[in-house]
């Protein structure tokens, strides 16, 4: 997701410099602030410790959402350091080893496990014992490190699906495809109607990851996908080759010249009814004017292998972690618990319509039609993947997979050589 957000940041020109660095927390040996409410005066010295929060919510909408959410956090004084989204991500290594804030925004899955393994995050299993019932097992799994402890608190997420305009589909009499054959048949029909069937853009390099993820999970299942992402399978495996073969077959139905197009342009072509459907994250709605948003609907990518059906989707989760160098761990955990509350997440999702609340206790009554459908889709999925660049090593995703996918899209017939190259580079990175 790095690329998407950086792009968005650029577009909005909202480059916020790193704000003032964290004021050292005034540490008194205070206990858990949540308990303090009951036994407050007894501990005497327990001053209101300052909690610092490192936030990458530099975009206008997420920033406003976060500001509103933390207004309700009163047990500690809070200091937010907002850093430009892209900068935050690029500097995460140095940040966590330097003087990180107590709590910081991060992503679930492999990217979280990577830092947990390096000992850069605090185990928050105790928080999970209190709030665990509010989350589905899939969310808990996405928050769990390789040692079985929880290091992450899911806050919001958004699913990937195939988006389309209801009005166009009604007018032309298209129906949601349930299998790959129906999908290609639909694409042919769209082409006959003068549409470019599947909108596609990969100039930024990352959107094609979404296509690969879904094809791999549909064809080979979630377990294989995760294992492949973790570097445990070979890329020259016939199963991987099959995914690329499938993809090559579908490419003819995709919009031409994707490598020169941004996802924003592709989304606009969907909005302008020049293309029939578009596999993307729910943020596709950003490119739709307010008046057209109710016309936007989606379906999950159709079944390829009946053994797996449509049991997995990409739905990247954003959330919070406590840094190992936190000066006020108790306060940090209190803040994390605040983020776990359904009420906090509801505030965020009402302000940022491209996201869904992670907590199962969250009130979905205030959701837009699209958000409601998104929540249904995710609750029906047995497995939730985090998107390729969050499910594997960041160096592998950015320096190997992005060039590989672009090469494939440019020359789809050269699959064997491509996969040999990917495998050779994988061996160098996962050593």
Note the residues at the interface with other proteins (CB under 8 A): 2-3, 89-90, 92-94, 97, 118, 120, 203-205, 256-261, 265, 269, 394-395, 398-399, 402-403, 406-407, 410, 421, 424-425, 428-429, 431
When the beta carbons of 67 and 423 are compared against other proteins, the nearer one is: 423
d(CA 288, CA 270): 9
When the beta carbons of 298 and 396 are compared against other proteins, the nearer one is: 396
When the beta carbons of 186 and 402 are compared against other proteins, the nearer one is: 402
The partner residues of 154 in beta bridges, in order of sequence, read: 319
When the beta carbons of 221 and 258 are compared against other proteins, the nearer one is: 258
When the beta carbons of 73 and 405 are compared against other proteins, the nearer one is: 405
C-alpha distances in Å from residue 314, one per residue of 7, 101, 158, 278: 21, 29, 8, 15
Q: Smallest distance from the beta carbon of 267 to other proteins, in angstroms?
A: 12
DSSP 252: T
Helices (H) and strands (E) in the chain, counts: 20, 12
The token pair that represents 175 in the structure block: 């129906």
Q: Smallest distance from the beta carbon of 105 to other proteins, in angstroms?
A: 14
When the beta carbons of 182 and 265 are compared against other proteins, the nearer one is: 265
Q: Smallest distance from the beta carbon of 134 to other proteins, in angstroms?
A: 30
When the beta carbons of 181 and 256 are compared against other proteins, the nearer one is: 256
Q: Smallest distance from the beta carbon of 409 to other proteins, in angstroms?
A: 9
When the beta carbons of 200 and 301 are compared against other proteins, the nearer one is: 200
Q: Is residue 250 within 8 Å of residue 219, measured between CB atoms?
A: no
Q: For the chain, give percent helix, strand, coil, nearest 5.
A: 50, 15, 35
Cα dihedral sign, 73-355-309-2: negative
d(CA 321, CA 145): 12
Q: Smallest distance from the beta carbon of 383 to other proteins, in angstroms?
A: 25
DSSP 413: T
Q: Smallest distance from the beta carbon of 173 to other proteins, in angstroms?
A: 28
The token pair that represents 23 in the structure block: 């004021």
Mind giving me the DSSP string for 144-169? B-TTS-B--EEEEE--EEEEEEHHHH
C-alpha distances in Å from residue 284, one per residue of 157, 278, 287, 385: 14, 9, 6, 19
d(CA 310, CA 323): 36
Q: Smallest distance from the beta carbon of 260 to other proteins, in angstroms?
A: 3
- Residues 6 or more apart whose Cβ sits within 8 Å of residue 337: 34, 127, 130, 131
Closest by alpha carbon to 210, among 431, 4, 421?
A: 4
Q: Smallest distance from the beta carbon of 210 to other proteins, in angstroms?
A: 17
Q: Smallest distance from the beta carbon of 199 to other proteins, in angstroms?
A: 11
Closest by alpha carbon to 91, among 2, 205, 217?
A: 2
When the beta carbons of 132 and 231 are compared against other proteins, the nearer one is: 231
């Amino acid at each position: 997701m790095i690329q998407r957000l950086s792009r968005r940041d650029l577009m909005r020109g909202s480059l916020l410099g790193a704000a003032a660095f964290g004021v050292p927390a005034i540490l008194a040996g205070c206990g858990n602030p949540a308990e303090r409410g009951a036994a407050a005066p007894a501990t005497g010295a327990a001053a209101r410790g300052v909690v610092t929060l490192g936030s990458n919510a530099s975009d206008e909408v997420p920033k406003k959402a976060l500001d509103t959410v933390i207004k309700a956090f009163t047990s500690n004084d809070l200091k937010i350091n907002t850093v430009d989204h892209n900068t935050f991500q690029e500097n995460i290594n140095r940040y966590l080893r330097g003087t990180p804030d107590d709590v910081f925004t991060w992503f679930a899955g492999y990217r979280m496990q990577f830092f947990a393994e390096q000992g850069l995050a605090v185990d928050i299993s105790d928080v999970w014992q209190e709030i665990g019932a509010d989350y589905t097992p899939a969310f808990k799994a996405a928050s769990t490190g390789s040692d079985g402890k929880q290091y992450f608190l899911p806050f919001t997420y958004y699913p990937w699906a195939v988006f389309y305009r209801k009005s166009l589909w009604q007018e032309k009499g298209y129906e949601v495809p349930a299998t790959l054959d129906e999908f290609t048949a639909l694409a042919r029909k769209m082409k006959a109607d003068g549409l470019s069937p599947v909108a596609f853009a990969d100039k930024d390099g990352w959107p094609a990851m979404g296509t690969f993820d879904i094809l791999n999970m549909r064809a080979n299942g979630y377990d294989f996908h995760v294992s492949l992402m973790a570097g445990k399978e070979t890329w020259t495996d016939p199963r991987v080759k099959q995914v690329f073969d499938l993809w090559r077959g579908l490419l003819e139905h995709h919009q031409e010249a994707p490598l020169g197009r941004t996802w924003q342009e592709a989304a606009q072509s969907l909005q302008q009814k020049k293309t029939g459907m578009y596999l993307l994250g729910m943020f596709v709605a950003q490119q739709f004017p307010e008046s057209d948003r109710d016309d936007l609907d989606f379906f999950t990518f159709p079944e390829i292998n009946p053994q797996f059906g449509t049991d997995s989707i990409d739905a990247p989760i954003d959330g919070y972690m406590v840094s190992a160098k936190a000066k006020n761990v108790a306060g940090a955990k209190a803040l994390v618990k605040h983020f776990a509350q359904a009420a906090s997440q509801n505030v965020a999702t009402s302000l940022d319509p491209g996201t869904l609340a992670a907590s199962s206790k969250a009130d979905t009554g205030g959701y837009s039609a699209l958000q409601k459908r998104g929540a249904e889709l995710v609750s029906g999925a047995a497995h939730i993947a985090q998107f390729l660049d969050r499910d594997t090593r960041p160096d592998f995703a950015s320096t190997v997979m992005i060039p590989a996918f672009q090469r494939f899209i440019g020359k789809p017939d050269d699959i064997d050589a491509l996969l040999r190259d990917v495998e050779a580079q994988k061996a160098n990175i996962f050593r």
